[in-house]
Amino acid sequence: LEPMSYPEAGKALRDAVGKSSGTTKVGIIHSLGVRRDAKGVEVLIGLLKDRDAQVAGAAAWSIGRTATEEAVRALEEFRGVAAGELKAVAADASLVVAEELLRRGKGQEAAKIYEELQAAKWARHVRMGAFVGLLAAQPDQAAQRLVKAFQGDDLALRGIAIDKVATLKAYGVGERFAAQLPNLPAETQVVLIGALTRRGEPSVRFAIAKAAWSADGRVRVAALKALGELGDVSSVKLLCTAVASGKSDEEK
């Protein structure tokens, strides 16, 4: 029934929910989610209080997939009361509904959910997922969020932010990211230089050229390699100096 596009298939699944139990019930609920069956939301909401955590979890996921106004409200309430293992279920389902809203072009509605899921009370993977979601939901604020993540103490978030530098669809922001290089630990500078190189924006040359004089050999090597790809005539003198006076074979 799951792949059938006929309305009768959806009705049959909805009717079967109350007549089943255990793994069969979980499977039927999951099928409603795969179908994004909006008519099943009312039935599924009632299952959020089911004693079987697997049933409640499947219901939450399927509700998220429908992304109706009723579904969004239901999951918001569920996040507020869920405890124990259901707290994680509520968070994951909320990521699902936010992603679905985003897919439908409702970025601001998705952003509201992602913002809430960045609170410290949620598990790290939830906060990381919400951060990435916010970059897509509010692209005009993405560069600002990435810079803030660079400056923060959360190493995992910083790593994700640097990874996103290379793929952020906003030309001309590379220089803003490059300006953060002196403020970062050496190992993080190396990764950021690599991400900036993949962006390919000429505006980062000056900051990378400065990094080529770093006291840390790893940073110098990364910067020189980057200039080999991004550099222009103005970079030739620096690269020649590195060949002549490099402190390691890798620098030369």
User: Could you tell me if residue 95 is inside a domain?
Assistant: no
pLDDT exceeds cutoff 80 at 3: no
User: Could you tell me if residue 252 is inside a domain?
Assistant: yes
pTM for this entry: 0.83
Q: Could you give the CA distance from residue 41 to residue 65 in angstroms, rounded to a whole number? A: 10
For 177-236, what is each residue's pLDDT tens digit? 999 999 999 999 999 999 999 998 989 999 999 999 899 999 999 999 999 898 777 777
Please list, in sequence order, all residues whose beta carbon lies within 8 angstroms of the beta carbon of residue 86, skipping any fewer than 6 positions away. Answer: 53, 56, 57, 78
Closest CA to 192 of 163, 218, 213: 163
Residues 141 and 193 in one domain: no
User: Could you tell me if residue 88 is inside a domain?
Assistant: no
Q: How confident is the model at residue 242 (pLDDT cuts 50, 70, 90)?
A: low
Name the range with the highest mean pLDDT among 6-15, 20-29, 162-171: 20-29
Alpha-carbon Rg of the chain, whole angstroms? 25
For 43-79, what is each residue's pLDDT tens digit? 999 999 999 999 999 999 999 999 999 999 999 999 9
Q: How many distinct structural domains can be found in the chain?
A: 3
Q: Could you give the CA distance from residue 160 to residue 173 in angstroms, rounded to a whole number? A: 17
Residues 194 and 242 in one domain: yes
CATH number of 56's domain = 1.25.10
- The domain of 214 spans 172-252
User: Could you tell me if residue 86 is inside a domain?
Assistant: no
